[in-house]
Amino acid sequence: MSIPQNALDAAHRARSIATIARTRAENPAPVPNAEGRAALLEIATLLDTAAHSLETEDPGTWDGIVITNTIDWDASHALRTADEIAAAHPTIGFPPRFTQYVTAPVFGNNIDLPPSLLPGGPVLIAKEGDLFARLLALHAAIDLTTDPGTLALLLENAFLLHWRHARLSESEAVMADRPANRPAVPAAVEIPTPGTPMALHRAHEAYGKTVTYGLKDRRLPCHVSDEGVTHTAVRMVSHLGATIATCDDDSHRNAAAVAARELYDSLG
């Protein structure tokens, strides 16, 4: 019995991705971790196993009809194991369900985007959005192409984008505290200086978490000074914490925020 074309197409995809894995493992620059390179080589071997099984195992039949939308146990097990290894080693840049690229000709399944990093600022959102848009375009081209060489090139480009997404997770997400990546802080609502903790509590109920008010006769210690020098506090701005302008020096102002937090808590 001849092997169905969709199984042969899946085998070609498996071998193409195995080549991508081996190429990445041989280059110490992208994957400096020896464990990651070993994982890539193991994935490549599993993909070769799956490809061989897809190319050689006769399809099953039902009432004389050849079943073409199934994958034999050996290939299925190899692909499932490869996915598990990818999920356990995210730094290699393979998405956790990358074998959807292999099974699509057989099952007609969609190819999922990698899990979102859920970026917290406009810069990271834009970068991830661009990667996702380009991946979706490549997925559409992969679905339409029938030329083996073109398909291999498209897969290589798709896995390059997956690699960039993994790098975004490592290098950019940890820098989410950059001003451009911080969530927008609501504008502070000016209120009269509260005389009691209850007055401050009611202001928050009425205007939200971010309010600002003047301070009189308040002095706060500078936490970077061994001498306990205090500075006149002139204004409080509360938003899940507090900042306060106490002097002209940045280091003093930042340190005074700790004392301002304590003052804010004491006011309710």
Query: In a 3-state reduction of DSSP, which class is residue 243?
Result: strand
Specify the pLDDT at position 243: 44
Quickly list H helices, 61-217: 73-88, 100-107, 122-144, 148-167, 197-207
Say if residues 78 and 53 touch (Cβ distance below 8 Å). Answer: yes
| Interval 235-244 mean pLDDT | 50
Nearest to 164 by CA among 124, 209, 206, 218: 124
Task: Identify the residue whose tokens are 């060489």.
Answer: 149
* 158, pLDDT greater than 90: yes
What mean pLDDT is reported for the chain? 78
Q: pTM of the prediction?
A: 0.64
**For 31-85, what is each residue's pLDDT tens digit?**
768 899 999 999 999 999 999 999 998 776 665 666 677 899 999 999 999 999 9
Q: Give the list of residues 6+ apart from residue 172 with CB closer than 8 angstroms, or none.
A: 119, 123, 124, 127
Task: With cut-offs at 50, 70 and 90, classify the pLDDT of residue 230.
Answer: low
